[in-house]
């Protein structure tokens, strides 16, 4: 037996031992303080339709990707769909996007053998689809043992995740062998999975399911919901999903533009709402700028804030629809970037920093004019000012539409591959 074939069972034994030890030492009590709906997380689920497809999406971004896939499954087949999440925000997003579409919305079980077994006994899915980077060894192992096909959809690996998995490549190669097919976003993602030992014939590049989800959402989004943030006819700038270290840069850029546009306003949406007060504090060095939390502003009353810091989730997409120019965070610091597609859907080039490794297609967006890279506050201010020119706005609309014309259809391609694989397996069993 070679090192590859030895590493997976040995690694699974060690993994299971660590998980069992954690729970034996009171891990469940720790998790009860962090999470609600512990019954579902320990595998106690009921009322699942027979013959369901189980789609797993850890949090908000993955749920957005899953929503487009589930919509295609429901429109093109008779399969019931169950979606599971890990985070409460992911669960809330699933209810917001998929109530009335998904047949059940649940929490995923903790990856302990008995919890996973209990969930699988209750759900008994005909297939399991995990979104993006969610690779839980126990559940994938048990699915394989039960001969239930498992798939990775919208697969991606950040540079950080890839480096971590590569350190124990032969263990993860065994985990990935539990998947029947891997549908990945871009060629860059395919290359990483190939480097982890996945056979090429198992991987298909389908594009990004988030594009389909965003195209679906664009139909219901509009600028009017947040038009009250604008002062008179002055510009409204939106900095989305910012991380620590970026608020200062964005505010400095905004301060430059205020000299020419004194009534302009800036909305900052921290990637993590608990950072909202820190973003407010970033404006303190500038006495001429007043920052206020969104939750402290009454939309029916006049307010004087120059900078509005959003301290809740679920509003960024509609804020982009209302903006004149945007900045996409996680990109001027080493965080891999945040979603550049959302603002571009509204004809606003996704202005971003140089660190966009989690979204490799951003370089193509840059080349097509659907995104712009900046490196400093002065770069950002200059780019924002250029985008306010009517000729630049018209070009941006054209460039963004041209970019999206090259995309779309990833969810349908993904489902076609999964359905064909399921039919092949069924035929083989027959």
Amino acid 79: pLDDT: 98
CA distance 162 to 137: 16
* Residue 207 near residue 413, CB atoms below 8 Å: yes
CA atoms within 13 A on the CB side of 428: 7
**What is the number of other CB atoms lying within 10 angstroms of the CB of residue 420?**
11
pLDDT tens for each residue of 338-375? 999 999 999 999 999 999 999 999 999 999 999 999 99
Task: State the pTM of this model.
Answer: 0.82
- What's the burial of 123, exposed, middle or buried (CB within 10 Å: 0-12/13-18/19+)? buried
CA distance 399 to 391: 12
On the question of pLDDT at 181 being above 90, the answer is yes
Which residue would you say has higher pLDDT here, 428 or 165?
165
CA distance 223 to 307: 18
CA distance 408 to 337: 21
DSSP state of 296: G
CA distance 347 to 349: 6
On the question of pLDDT at 2 being above 90, the answer is no
pLDDT tens for each residue of 74-106? 999 999 999 999 999 999 999 999 999 999 999
First-to-last CA distance in the chain? Answer: 33
CA 138 to chain centre: 23
On the question of pLDDT at 392 being above 80, the answer is yes
DSSP state of 304: -
Q: Which residues pair with 424 in a beta bridge?
A: none
- Closest among 137, 144, 114, 129 to 24, alpha carbons compared: 114
């Amino acid at each position: 037996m070679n090192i590859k074939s030895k590493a997976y069972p040995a690694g699974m034994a060690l993994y299971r031992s660590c998980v069992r030890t954690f729970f034996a030492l009171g891990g469940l009590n720790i998790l009860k303080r962090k999470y609600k709906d512990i019954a579902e997380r320990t595998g106690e689920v009921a009322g699942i339709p027979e013959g369901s497809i189980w789609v797993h999406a850890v949090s908000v971004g993955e749920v957005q990707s899953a929503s487009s896939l589930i919509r295609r499954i429901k429109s093109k087949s008779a399969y019931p769909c169950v979606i599971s999440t890990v985070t409460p925000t992911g669960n809330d997003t699933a209810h917001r996007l998929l109530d009335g579409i998904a047949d059940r919305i649940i929490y995923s079980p903790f990856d302990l053998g008995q919890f996973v077994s209990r969930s699988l006994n209750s759900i008994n899915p005909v297939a399991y689809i995990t979104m993006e980077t969610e690779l839980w060894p126990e559940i994938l192992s048990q699915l394989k043992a039960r001969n239930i096909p498992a798939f990775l959809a919208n697969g991606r690996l950040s540079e950080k995740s890839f480096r971590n998995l590569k350190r124990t490549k032969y263990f993860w190669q065994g985990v990935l062998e539990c998947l029947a097919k891997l549908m990945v976003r871009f060629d860059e993602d395919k290359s990483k999975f190939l480097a982890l030992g996945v056979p090429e014939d198992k991987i298909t590049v389908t594009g990004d399911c988030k594009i389909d989800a965003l195209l679906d959402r664009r139909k219901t989004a509009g600028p009017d919901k947040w038009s009250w943030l604008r002062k008179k006819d002055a510009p409204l700038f939106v900095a989305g999903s910012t991380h620590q270290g970026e608020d200062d840069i964005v505010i400095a850029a905004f301060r430059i533009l205020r000299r020419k546009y004194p009534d302009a306003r800036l909305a900052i949406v921290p990637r993590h709402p608990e950072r909202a007060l820190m973003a407010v504090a970033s404006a303190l060095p500038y006495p001429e700028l007043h920052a206020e939390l969104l939750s402290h502003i009454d939309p029916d009353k006049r307010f004087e804030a120059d900078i509005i810091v959003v301290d809740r989730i679920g509003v960024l997409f509609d804020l982009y629809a209302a903006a004149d120019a945007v900045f996409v965070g996680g990109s001027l610091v080493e965080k891999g970037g945040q979603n550049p597609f959302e603002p571009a859907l509204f004809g606003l080039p996704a202005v971003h920093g140089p660190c966009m490794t989690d979204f490799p297609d951003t370089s193509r967006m840059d080349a097509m004019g659907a995104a712009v890279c900046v490196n400093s506050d002065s770069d950002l201010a200059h780019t924002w000012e250029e985008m306010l020119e009517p000729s630049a706005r018209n070009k941006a609309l054209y460039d963004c539409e041209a970019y999206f014309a090259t995309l779309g259809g990833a969810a349908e391609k993904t489902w076609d591959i999964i359905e064909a694989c399921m039919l092949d397996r069924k035929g083989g069993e027959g």
